[in-house]
Amino acid sequence: MMQYFIAIIAFPALVIGWVLVQQAARRFARAHPEFGPPREEGGGCGSSCGCISKSRCRKKPAKQ
């Protein structure tokens, strides 16, 4: 039963903590524009696709 209460408290605390970290990163980016915009998770092409532009990705051809 104790594990249940720990899970109820820990999960929302972790989510709230992550939201606070994101807000802090955005505030820092606004205060220091010389470092560029903050990179959002899932906000662009990842390293697993063949990027041809920032707005779209294409899949690499499969090796045969």
Provide the token pair at 9: 């408290």
The domains of the chain are located at: 2-58
Q: What band does 1 get if pLDDT is binned at 50, 70 and 90?
A: confident
Could you tell me which of 43, 45, 38 has the C-alpha nearest to residue 60? 45
- Percent residues over pLDDT 70 in the chain: 62
Query: How confident is the model over 5-36, as pLDDT tens digits?
Result: 998 999 999 999 999 999 998 999 999 989 88
Give me the mean pLDDT over the 35-55 stretch: 64
Please indicate, yes or no, whether the overall pTM of this predicted structure exceeds 0.75.
Answer: no
- Distance set, CA 20 to CA 17, 32, 38, 47, 51 (Å): 5, 18, 14, 27, 31
